[in-house]
Structure 1
Amino acid sequence: MLCILNACSTSSNQLEQILERGELRVVSRYGLTSYYTNSGQLAGFEFDLAQAFADYLGVELKVTVPNTLSKTLDMIENGQADIAAAGLTITRARQNRLRFGPIYHEVTQQLIYRHGSPKPRDITEISSGQLEILANSSHAEQLALLQQEIPLLSWTENQSIDSSGLLQLVQLELIDYTIVDSNEMSASHGLYPELRVAFDVSDPQPLAWGMRRSEDMSLQLAVTAFFEEIENTGYLDQLIETYFGHIRRFDYVDSRAIHRRIQTHLPQYESMFKAAALAYGYDWRLLAAMAYQESHWNPEAVSSTGVRGLMMLTQATANEMGVTDREDPEQSIFAGTAYLTIIKNRLPERIAEPDRTWLALAAYNIGLGHLEDARILTEKNGGNPDRWADVRENLPLLAKQQWFSQTRYGYARGGEPVRFVGNIRRYYDIMLHHDEVNRNSTTPPAEPNQTLPAAL
């Protein structure tokens, strides 16, 4: 950092001003790919990146969410904020207004329509429907380019809601189409099970942080050095895996089912999940997601292998945990939670969250011995045995003789815990979204440009 400061000749450059005030001012936007609240804690891919950069500088993080995208860009240009960490794509028009940091991801713009409506094959087939997009977005820039070739192309720019709101309008059939970035659609697909991707509207476009254009390069140099460090340490890959690694092929029937059962089945057991979560230190929605994966919240569920109940306990596990009736919902929830905790405690102490939880869930499904075999194979293959993303790639090897013959516990269907953990993470996201929607429906809307505190 001293090298960066010394390389900038200005007596009080932007980086020095940030360090002097002890605060990094970031503008972002609400959404699963950027910034949201989770049980009162702040989270999101962009938020975690910004927090890591603030820690790198040794300053506090202050995040502001402007009420429009246009205001976000204005605040950077006017010096009211230092960085726009809002999933911004680099476009020609934006490069005339902002300076961008290193590229950290790529997305594609996609046209979204509702299942049951005619699927348009290309942009020329949407003229009879209502297309509504985010105002002043890269989507508007792309449509303006397409309009040069298709003069009849028309759309409405919405100033008052975000991409998630536009997806909801399509879901409710209040508009026919919208355009969102592919990462947002992937993260939101389970939340809006009726929506479909018709086609890509653009080629892949890079994402980066936006900063003020000026001769002062101090902040950009610091941002570049920061991204170089987190790429070298693997933190960037780990963060991408944390927020996007569980997104798999969209299952329409499954996603509709959990939305329905949240209303019809979950209320009977919610207080039990909350009590178990309080007793053992979990988010109750994670336990509920785990139970949904196991039994779809059916306390009388029985598998072909004889496991049964909400948490699908084996007879041996039930005996170990003192369960007298595996079909009793409360006994099942508390025993399953306690057993998961035992597994977590048996993992090496050096394994940090969230990898610790994902590995424990995998062991809950396949057994701690087989998980340890997979971790050993991961290390042999050059991966990190303490990272779920690496172990996940090696678990399926337990079903192949050339690999399981090298292990202590032998053959296992290693693909099952991969699906098991991925499904739980997806169900957990859906439950977080439901909770957020319900909370927002009973509380007043936030004031425009509301400033939220850094991580609690």
Structure 2
Amino acid sequence: MPQTKSRISCLLLLVGCLIMASCSEEKTDSRKKPLDTHDFDLPGIYKRGSLVILAENSSTSFFIYKGKKMGFEYEILKEFAEELGVKLEVKIVNNLDEINAMLNRGEGDIIACNYTVTRERRSEINFSTPFLQTNQVLIQRKLTPETKDQKVTFITDPIQLGNKKVVVWEHSSYYTRLIHLQDEIGDTIMIRPTQAQEGVEELIEQVSNGVIDYTVAERNVAEINERFYDNLDVSMPISFKQNIAFGLNKKSPILQKRLNIWLSKFMNKEAFSYIKRKYFEQINSSLGVASNFKSRRGSISPFDAILKVEGAKYNIDWRLVAALIYHESKFNPNARAFGGAYGLMQFMPGTGPKFGVYPTSPPEVQIQGGYKYLSRITKLWTAIKDDNERNKFILASYNAGAGHILDAQRLAEKKGLNPHVWENNVEAMVMNLGKHAYYTDEVVKSGAFRGNICIRYVRGITARYETYKTLVKR
């Protein structure tokens, strides 16, 4: 009898262990299960209170400029998120080869990276209503005596691409287009594929710098980048127009329908036209009628009096600010430029009001707000004791936003350079912020940045400041 009880006890213990193991296994398996369909779709977005977009660091997708989050697609989806009543979160994707898989794993709700609609991509994901149509163009350097000496052919017809090396991202629509173009021209194009870590804008910079001779991009991306590199030609099309749209998970039919309905209405509104103009039309450095005031000995601008008063108040050399204003707007208080920048100091729409400056503000108010902003920036760089060096960091921060310059300073220190010296030190890291290996470094907080414009900005204003110092006394 005792043996029977003992056997029963063992049996019960064994059954209990099996049940516990089963429960444990069930819990573990539940963690591995994919999210419920609704977690991918609109109900899941409402549940978490945020819309997550998968974006790249680029001029059309998402970037940070003068401390402000920007991007053509970012601004569209920001409006959509407000319509839904949820926050917009941005997840930067550094390897575009992974972006569809990330979407399908539920790591984001929408792909926003100037995504061309193709049959291959449609087999993996869904697309929204197209919000833009554009064709692909060849990126090459302009025909100059230098390019002639380098024996680089300036392409005026796609047939000339025979036996030419063109560098593009391997899993892109550009690569597919070049494959088809070979058949059309009856010749071999030496297509050199790159990995997705090298974005199209990085390849465009390599063309400008002479590292490579040709790449391909959508016209809208090419024309924005042409603004940054004055030696580029982006005029030759190599494709018909293609649709650009947002990518969505196939498990998100409700989100897709809601987005499509909203887009069809939004694209007919002035808000959409304004966003489109801001990125694709206002691409000159300063629009509007420039001031015809000419500097002469004893004076610099029509605003010298207020510049001197505010300069004394904030202990900032007014001649430096005058040089900055000339570069930004050529003393035109009504100037308009890229991203909606306005006025003498070219305040961004999200920054100007913080300092009491609006597009309709009179010149005096614009200048007063500009000094307040410069004073705030100056406080960031008090550790730099040399006035001339500090001025360069201040100017760079005004142009790029302090976040990018702080990133460059941290990179300089990490690379063994002097973080308190601009030329050949922090300046070199600013230039490198457009390269994948640098903007993905752990010390970089503000993402990619196209540094050549900032470097020319600092050099140009510094040179003009030196000229102004010979014209007038402080």
What CA distance in whole angstroms lies between the structure 1 residues aligned with 2:210 and 2:230?
13
Aligned to 1:134: 169
Aligned to 2:204: 167
Please say if residues 30 and 36 of structure 1, whose CA atoms lie closer than 8 Å, have aligned partners that are also in contact. Answer: yes
Unpaired runs of at least 5, structure 2: 1-36, 312-316, 336-340, 344-348, 364-395, 409-427, 448-474
AA of the residue aligned to 2:93: P
Q: CA deviation at 1:174?
A: 1.8
Identify the match of residue 122 of structure 1 among 145, 157, 170: 157
Matched, 1:313 2:350: no
Secondary structure of 1:199's counterpart equals coil
Q: Which residue of 1 aligns with 2:215?
A: 178
> 1:51-99 deviations in whole A, cap 9, x for unaligned?
2222222222221222222211221233322100111111222222221
Identity of aligned residues (%): 21
RMSD: 4.7
Is the 1:88–1:207 contact (alpha carbons within 8 Å) kept by the matching residues of 2?
yes
Q: Which residue of 1 aligns with 2:137?
A: 110
Measure how far apart 1:179 and its partner are: 0.3
Which residue is equivalent to 1:279? none
Distance 1:177 1:341, change over 3 A: closer
Q: Deviations over 1:261-290 (max 9, x none)?
A: xxxxxxxxxxxxxxxxxxxxxxxxxxxx77
Gaps of 5+ in 1: 1-9, 249-288, 296-302, 347-351, 365-427
- 1:344-359 counterparts in 2 under 5 A? 359=359
| Distance across 1 between alignment mates of 2:219 and 2:113 | 15
- For residues 39 and 76 of structure 1, what CA distance do their matches in structure 2 show? 30
Query: Matched residue of 1:210: which SS?
Result: strand
Cα distance in 1 between the residues matched to 2:445 and 2:98: 14
Say which of 414, 439, 451 aligns to 2:430: 439
Partner in structure 2 of residue 26 of structure 1: 53
Counterpart check, 1:146 vs 2:154:
no
SS at match of 1:206: strand
1:221-279: per-residue Cα shift (whole Å, max 9, x none)?
1211322342344211111122222125xxxxxxxxxxxxxxxxxxxxxxxxxxxxxxx
Residues 295-444 of structure 1 mapped to structure 2, 5 A cutoff: 313-314=301-302, 318=304, 329-330=319-320, 332=322, 359-360=359-360, 432=400, 438-439=429-430, 441=432, 444=438
Query: Contact 2:66 / 2:399 at 8 angstroms: preserved in 1?
Result: no
Which residue among 104, 111, 117 is the counterpart of 1:90?
A: 117
How many aligned residue pairs are there? 322
Pair member with larger Rg = 2
Among 267, 270, 275, the alignment partner of 1:239 is 275
State the distance in 2 between where 1:309 and 1:212 align: 65
- Secondary structure at 2:190's aligned position in 1? coil
Structure 1 length as normaliser, TM-score?
0.58
What amino acid sits opposite 2:191 in the alignment?
W
> What amino acid is aligned across from residue 440 of structure 2 in structure 1?
A
Residue aligning to 2:106: 79
Change (3 A) 1:355 1:221: farther
**d(CA) in 1 for partners of 2:310, 2:42:** 63
**Which residue of 1 is the match for residue 412 of structure 2?**
none
Deviation for aligned residue 1:178: 0.3
1:194-229: CA deviations, max 9, x gaps? 211251011111211011224x52011121132234
**8 Å contact kept, 2:53–2:109:** yes
Q: Which is bigger in relative contact order (C-alpha 8 A, separation at least 6)? A: 1
> 1:62, 1:451 within 8 Å by CA — same for their partners in 2?
no
Q: Which residue of 2 aligns with 1:375?
A: none
Match of 1:370 in 2: none
- Counterpart of 1:155 in 2: which secondary structure? strand
Are the aligned partners of 2:141 and 2:232 in contact in 1 as well (CA < 8 Å)?
Answer: yes
Quote the offset at 1:18 in angstroms.
1.1
In the TM superposition, 1:246-257 aligns within 5 A as 246-247=282-283
Relative to the length of structure 2, the TM-score reads 0.56
Q: Distance in 1 between matches of 2:183 and 2:342?
A: 61
